[in-house]
């Protein structure tokens, strides 16, 4: 791969900031550019589960999912001081016996797994071949360069996704505050306190509490913590109840 091809590859990987699109590009470009790769998958693993993934073939996605399900496999063994794991022949491989047996049954001959430099989550790219003995040193060197380039693209997409999520959360919370302010004639700060109290009481993310109000899907009462001693109760989606007449 010359410098012009490399520049074009970087441009394609960074064409869109969307995380899903970037992951799709990562696997497609890997299959196209790394010799011996018949199909591949990229998986973002966090807290023992696959959070995001993409694959050029259902089989690659299945093999990555099996690693997490079984708790063994090259994607789970990659780390910063051992970021490339090659399986030259699944017929003789003794590591990860259950996963290897499944991979052999599915027709895999060899594989190459690389850790992408992405902060906050274990992000691995695994390339599979139906033939044994694939992914020689030249393929490994090329794949290592590609892993670093694709890792930068995925990191940027993650940051964009996080910013977009944060913005959506702020908009949702603001909309919920507006609904409570209009419906119950309370202040902006008091409306936020209502949301915060419900979040704490139910151990639910503030954004999810706000979303339930905006979508009118939460029938449970909200406590207006800002009114303290009166302990005002309001029903989401219902008009406030007038106080009983006295005299």
Instruction: Return the closest-CA partner of residue 118 out of 82, 152, 73.
Output: 152
Angle in degrees, CA 85, 88, 92, rounded to 5:
110
Beta partners for 129?
110
pLDDT score at 213: 84
pLDDT score at 247: 39
Domain assignment present for 151: yes
Tell me which residues of the chain have a pLDDT lower than 50.
3-4, 219, 223-247
Q: Are 110 and 130 in contact (CB under 8 A)?
A: no
Find tokens 């990659």 and name the residue.
78
What does the mean pLDDT of the chain come to?
80
pLDDT score at 176: 85
pLDDT score at 242: 40
List Cβ neighbours of 4 (8 Å cut-off, separation of 6 or more): none
Number of domains composing the chain = 2
Residue 94 belongs to what domain range? 3-162
pTM beyond 0.85, yes or no: no
Do both 74 and 178 map to the same domain?
A: no
Do both 13 and 64 map to the same domain?
A: yes
Domain assignment present for 247: no
Find tokens 């497609």 and name the residue.
28
Q: Are 132 and 106 in contact (CB under 8 A)?
A: no
């Amino acid at each position: 791969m010359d410098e012009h091809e490399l520049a074009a590859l970087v441009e394609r990987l960074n064409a869109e900031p969307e995380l899903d699109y970037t992951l799709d590009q990562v696997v497609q470009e890997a299959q196209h550019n790394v010799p011996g790769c018949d199909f591949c998958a990229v998986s973002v693993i966090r807290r023992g589960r696959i959070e995001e993934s993409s694959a050029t073939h259902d089989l690659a996605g299945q093999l990555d999912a099996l690693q997490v399900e079984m708790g063994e496999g090259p994607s789970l063994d990659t780390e910063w001081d051992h970021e490339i794991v090659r399986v030259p022949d699944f017929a003789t491989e003794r590591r990860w016996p259950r996963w290897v047996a499944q991979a052999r049954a599915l027709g895999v001959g060899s594989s190459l797994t690389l850790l992408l430099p992405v902060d906050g989550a274990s992000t691995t790219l695994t390339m599979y071949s139906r033939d044994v003995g694939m992914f020689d040193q030249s393929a490994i060197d090329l794949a290592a360069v590609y892993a670093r380039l694709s890792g930068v693209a995925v990191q940027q997409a993650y940051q964009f996704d996080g910013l977009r999520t944060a913005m959506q959360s702020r908009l949702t919370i603001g909309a919920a505050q507006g609904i409570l302010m209009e419906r119950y004639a309370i202040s902006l700060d008091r409306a936020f306190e209502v949301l915060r109290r419900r979040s704490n009481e139910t151990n639910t993310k503030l954004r999810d509490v706000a979303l339930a109000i905006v979508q009118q899907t939460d029938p449970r009462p909200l406590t207006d913590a800002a009114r303290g001693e009166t302990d005002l109760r309001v029903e989401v989606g219902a008009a406030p109840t007038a106080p009983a007449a006295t005299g």
